[in-house]
Structure 1
Amino acid sequence: MLTKFGPDIWIADGPVVTAAAGFHYPTRMAVLRLRNGDLVLWSPVALGPELRAQIEALGKVRYLIAPNSLHHTFLADWHRAFPQAQVFAPPGLREKRPDITIAGEIGTAMLPGWDGEIDVVVVRGNQITTEAVFFHRASRTALFTDLLQQFPPGWFTGWRAILARLDLMTAPEPSVPRKFRLAFTDRAAARAAIRQILEWPTEKVLMAHGAPVTAQGQAFLRHALRWLRP
């Protein structure tokens, strides 16, 4: 089910998926509507008839976005459903998913029709994944996939709960998981990206794995990213 998150932005939570070592992750997507009515689908979740109908009622699906090389599970299903849509992804996914026709890599290809409506910063220098962080100007929302996470108490059990706690995935507040912090081999590139992100007039922050932040988003990001902030 789609839920309105602000002007021309909606979110939908999808099913829980299983990742490496049996860790379970919730899924969340966002739908951004451009001024011309075209839709940008950010990190699509599982495709179902009800969700598809709700999205088609909003406008024409023109862009399918994989924000990093880890969020691609349902991308091919959406591309089959909307073959006219262009797929954009950051570096690394094209080699991982040769079955998906990727129109361009975020950070190198121009994203048509987005000027003045959606800003994108690619956070480079991480060995796990290259993540593209989005800013939707109309709603003043910054969108993160895996660089910011917070799972509720009890989400993980047994040894996975211990690892999640050590990794800061279940910290008292949303934060960058420790594994991602250690995977930054080019911190200068990461700091340059964070500098751009912190310049956005962010009011809301949407995370794929964590409760949305609905106020004082820029202050939240300054605090959450303080460990690597310029």
Structure 2
Amino acid sequence: MTDTTYPPLDTLKPVAADLWIVDSGPLSGSLPLPVRMTVVKLSDGTVWLHSPTRFDEGLARTIEAIGPVRHLVAPNIAHWTFLAGWQRRFPEAVTWAAPNLRHRGQVRRKVEAGDLRLDRDLGEQSPEDWASDIRQTVVPGGLRFREVAFFHAPSRSLILTDLVLNLEPHKLPWHLRLPMRLAGATAPDGRAPIYLRLTVRLGGRAASRAAAALVALAPQRVLFAHGAWFERDATPALRRSLRWLLR
């Protein structure tokens, strides 16, 4: 059986100074997606978790050794399902929600039941908490979709979530390799899944301007939630992956 993930799983992996990733998954469903969290140590010594993956106590202790965990980031309306475990472990951390996340029915019910907490909403401007380290851009779409992209300036790393899906064909089950290639979601320059491309295109010129702004950052690397991230030649790879959105 093929393994779509990137072992070792639920383990902190260094990427650059004050920047790590955690590979996890696979997510259940018809497509067993690998999933990734990004960890940043901010200049004030606190730790910022982007798109938290499944909670693991050993991993939590390793991250805690870097510094106090103060920020849990849900960067779009889909990447929030593992927040609760991290909130219980780090109750002092602030949970930041992508625009419109709190309006999703499933999310609203969990918040009302006390099973989930969304403290603050993300916007176009980075909050003071991390403005000196991380710049952010909201990529709009239709159907209330928003994804917040983050640029870690010290390492020149762009942190995305679902705007790029770069699955490696040899890691996919054989029956999914052709469909994923036809969908444009496979390496070396995979795009967002078709349904998401259609949704983001509803954001019109604002979405195109946001994509152009991300490419203009000229990142040295691009991290994202699913698939092989761009470790080198990141800016041209990003431009190819976002060509469906750039005007």
How does the TM-score come out when normalised to structure 2?
A: 0.84
The CA distance in 2 between the partners of 1:110 and 1:205, in whole Å, is 19
Cα–Cα, structure 1 residues 74 and 102, in superposed 2: closer, same or farther, change >3 Å?
same
Alpha carbons 2:45, 2:68 under 8 Å: kept: yes
The CA distance in 2 between the partners of 1:23 and 1:55, in whole Å, is 29
2:79 to 56, 63, 71: 71
The CA distance in 2 between the partners of 1:177 and 1:94, in whole Å, is 23
Alpha carbons 2:100, 2:144 under 8 Å: kept: no
Can you list the C-alpha shifts for 1:202-227, whole angstroms capped at 9, x where unaligned? 10011211212122322222222123
The CA distance in 2 between the partners of 1:7 and 1:126, in whole Å, is 36
Cα–Cα, structure 1 residues 144 and 84, in superposed 2: closer, same or farther, change >3 Å?
same
Q: Which runs of 5+ in 1 are unaligned?
A: none
2:18 to 8, 17, 26: 8
The CA distance in 2 between the partners of 1:195 and 1:30, in whole Å, is 23
Q: Is 2:27 aligned against 1:17?
A: yes
Q: Is 2:240 aligned against 1:223?
A: yes
Alpha carbons 2:35, 2:226 under 8 Å: kept: yes
The CA distance in 2 between the partners of 1:163 and 1:128, in whole Å, is 27
Cα–Cα, structure 1 residues 95 and 2, in superposed 2: closer, same or farther, change >3 Å?
same
How much has 1:29 moved relative to structure 2?
0.5
How much has 1:166 moved relative to structure 2?
3.2
The CA distance in 1 between the partners of 2:142 and 2:103, in whole Å, is 17
The CA distance in 1 between the partners of 2:187 and 2:221, in whole Å, is 20
Alpha carbons 2:98, 2:121 under 8 Å: kept: yes
Q: Is 2:196 aligned against 1:186?
A: no
Superposed, 1:24-103 pairs within 5 Å as 24-96=32-104, 97-98=107-108, 99=111, 100-103=116-119
**Structure 2 counterpart of 1:192, one-letter code:** R
Q: Which runs of 5+ in 2 are unaligned?
A: 1-10
The CA distance in 1 between the partners of 2:97 and 2:173, in whole Å, is 29
The CA distance in 2 between the partners of 1:128 and 1:204, in whole Å, is 28
Q: Is 2:133 aligned against 1:117?
A: yes
How much has 1:95 moved relative to structure 2?
2.5
RMSD, matched Cα: 2.0
Cα–Cα, structure 1 residues 44 and 208, in superposed 2: closer, same or farther, change >3 Å?
same
Can you list the C-alpha shifts for 1:77-135, whole angstroms capped at 9, x where unaligned? 11111111111111232133232221222116862321221011110024373111111
**Structure 1 counterpart of 2:24, one-letter code:** G
How much has 1:163 moved relative to structure 2?
4.0
Alpha carbons 1:167, 1:179 under 8 Å: kept: no
Superposed, 1:191-206 pairs within 5 Å as 191-206=208-223
**Structure 2 counterpart of 1:80, one-letter code:** R
Alpha carbons 1:148, 1:207 under 8 Å: kept: yes
Cα–Cα, structure 1 residues 169 and 128, in superposed 2: closer, same or farther, change >3 Å?
farther
**Structure 2 counterpart of 1:16, one-letter code:** P
How does the TM-score come out when normalised to structure 1?
A: 0.90
The CA distance in 2 between the partners of 1:139 and 1:52, in whole Å, is 23
The CA distance in 2 between the partners of 1:115 and 1:65, in whole Å, is 14
Taking only the aligned residue pairs, the percentage that are identical comes to 34
1:132 match: secondary structure: strand
Name which of structure 1's ranges 46-55 and 91-100 shifts more when overlaid on structure 2: 91-100
Cα–Cα, structure 1 residues 122 and 152, in superposed 2: closer, same or farther, change >3 Å?
same
The CA distance in 1 between the partners of 2:25 and 2:188, in whole Å, is 24
Match of 2:182 in 1: 166
